Structure 1
Amino acid sequence: MRLRSVSKVYGSAPRSVTALDSVTTEFPVGSFTAVMGPSGSGKSTLLHCAAGLDRPTSGEVLLGGTDLGGLDETKLTELRRERIGFVFQSYNLVSALTAAQNVALPLRLAGRRPRPSEVDGALAEVGLGARGTHLPSEMSGGEQQRVALARALVTRPAAVFADEPTGALDSKTSRDVLTLLRGVVDRHRQTVVMVTHDPVAASYADRVLLMVDGRITEELTGSLTAEAIATANRRGTSC
């Protein structure tokens, strides 16, 4: 997945707000990228544009050679269902559906009849193979987030986008969810892009993009520690 000179402007002059300012970056296949920055830096807008949830004002977003800007709403919706998975801080599970039914939902929305093996396999991968018949209200926050991850993975998407996936979880449960995301990359060569404010969460990634005022100001790679990430993030926001 690639972004070329992507800008996103909200409103019109003189009160327009530039959320993204000519951002160019790439999310290679089988990579885990964390995006950090202060509130209003553009990190969530970057994720939304890359995932096809929002259209950029200018520039190109390409997924496997497909320019998302050239798709109408119907084709864009189909692409999101088939090739992109989403995990959000608030889980976004349907309360009246069981864990298995929530996981099967993307397949049903795509007009497919889910195979039990697909749904059971996705739940087993996140450690919830025995919880398929439980409602969200019967599960902990960490279990609900793992159901949300299984739902994102059931279509075997090319990319998984996670927006503060551990923001509502305690530290132990956060580690469990991050380990699962790391495993998605290592075992299945899927691409994960995660927005986070937490340097510990970011340390699970292969690289970290630091954003300020709608621009990527620094890219961290190599052996990433939470301390080094936090220091770089503070340095970037103080400039």
Structure 2
Amino acid sequence: MTGIDTSVVLESVTKSYRSGAGEVTALDGLTARFGHGTFTAVMGPSGSGKSTLLQCAAGLERPTSGRVVVAGQDLARLNERKLTELRRSRIGFVFQAFNLMPSLTAEQNIALPLRLAGRRPDRHTVRQALEAVGLADRATHRPAELSGGQQQRVAVARALVTRPAVLFADEPTGALDAHTSREVLRLLRTLVDRHAQTLVMVTHDPAAAACADRVLFLADGRVRGELTDPDADSVVARMMLLEASC
């Protein structure tokens, strides 16, 4: 992949944390690339560094060493203000817990990133985001009036409203039942196929990973292999081999 068609690049990224009297290495010289308009699932045993990878790639954590480039921007060269501006304008994040404001309607929740970025929300843009996730008729509903799957769709629309270069999803279906999970995964797949959205998703679910173009496997903070055009059975087999070797 060249720099032109790559949305996210991590080069020799190490991330260490202080833990008591010692140090824990969450990422250990990890290198990975995520191409424009592709859907990558990230999997690995507990403690393998999956969430730390997302946090470093999204500019939520600064690596101890190495280089992270998002949409052509080297994050190490940005001060905190510029990094915040980049996260608000070029990076979307979807969490397992939805993280919606309970007192706001769906459209107000979606408009929130624009307000935080100091931009006046355009109602048409917000409504377009709602339509993209199939919730045009739920604009005035508050989170408590929506199902879990609808809340996650609002969270996806909120992440997309700034038209980010990359969308990061951390266990986006982890709090949903099987049927609702499939609906959300179909939505994410559609965003990639129809709108060339770059998507990086951490998941523990082989069925969710099978929706991706590629699965990246981590263990001990390092990339331990990848699988293209995955299906659930091949993902399960790889995970079993990976966990047996750890």
TM range (shorter): over 0.9
* Superposed structure 1 runs of 4+ greater than 3 Å apart: none
Give 1:219's aligned residue.
Answer: 226
In structure 2, distance between residues paired with 1:194 and 1:112: 28
Compute the RMSD of aligned alpha carbons.
1.0
1:206 Cα deviation from its structure 2 partner: 0.5
Deviations 1:17-42 (CA, angstroms, capped at 9, x unpaired): 00000000100000100000111010
1:75 aligns with 2:86: no
TM-score by length of 1: 0.98
| SS, match of residue 22 in structure 2 | coil
Please tell me whether the aligned partners of residues 71 and 90 of structure 2 are also in contact (alpha carbons under 8 angstroms): no
1:124 aligns with 2:138: no
In structure 1, distance between residues paired with 2:44 and 2:37: 23
Please tell me whether the aligned partners of residues 28 and 222 of structure 2 are also in contact (alpha carbons under 8 angstroms): yes
| SS, match of residue 240 in structure 2 | helix
Q: How many residue pairs are counted as aligned between the two chains?
A: 238
In structure 1, distance between residues paired with 2:24 and 2:34: 26
Give 2:213's aligned residue.
Answer: 206
Give 2:240's aligned residue.
Answer: 234
Give 1:152's aligned residue.
Answer: 159
**1:65-214 equivalent positions in 2, closer than 5 A:** 65-214=72-221
> Please, which runs of 5 or more residues in structure 1 have no aligned partner?
none
TM-score by length of 2: 0.95
| SS, match of residue 28 in structure 2 | strand
In structure 1, distance between residues paired with 2:19 and 2:44: 25
1:14 Cα deviation from its structure 2 partner: 5.7
1:64 Cα deviation from its structure 2 partner: 2.5
In structure 2, distance between residues paired with 1:71 and 1:237: 37
> Please, which runs of 5 or more residues in structure 2 have no aligned partner?
1-7
1:111 Cα deviation from its structure 2 partner: 1.1
1:13 Cα deviation from its structure 2 partner: 9.1
In structure 1, distance between residues paired with 2:19 and 2:159: 35
| SS, match of residue 130 in structure 1 | helix
Q: Which of 16, 20, 37 is matched with 2:44 structurally?
A: 37
1:141 Cα deviation from its structure 2 partner: 0.7
1:65 Cα deviation from its structure 2 partner: 2.2
Deviations 1:150-186 (CA, angstroms, capped at 9, x unpaired): 0001111000000000000011110111111111111
Deviations 1:109-141 (CA, angstroms, capped at 9, x unpaired): 111111111111100111100000000011111
**Aligned-residue identity in percent:** 63
1:12 Cα deviation from its structure 2 partner: 6.9
In structure 2, distance between residues paired with 1:182 and 1:106: 23
Please tell me whether the aligned partners of residues 91 and 165 of structure 2 are also in contact (alpha carbons under 8 angstroms): yes
Deviations 1:36-93 (CA, angstroms, capped at 9, x unpaired): 0111010000010001111100000001221111111111110000000010000000
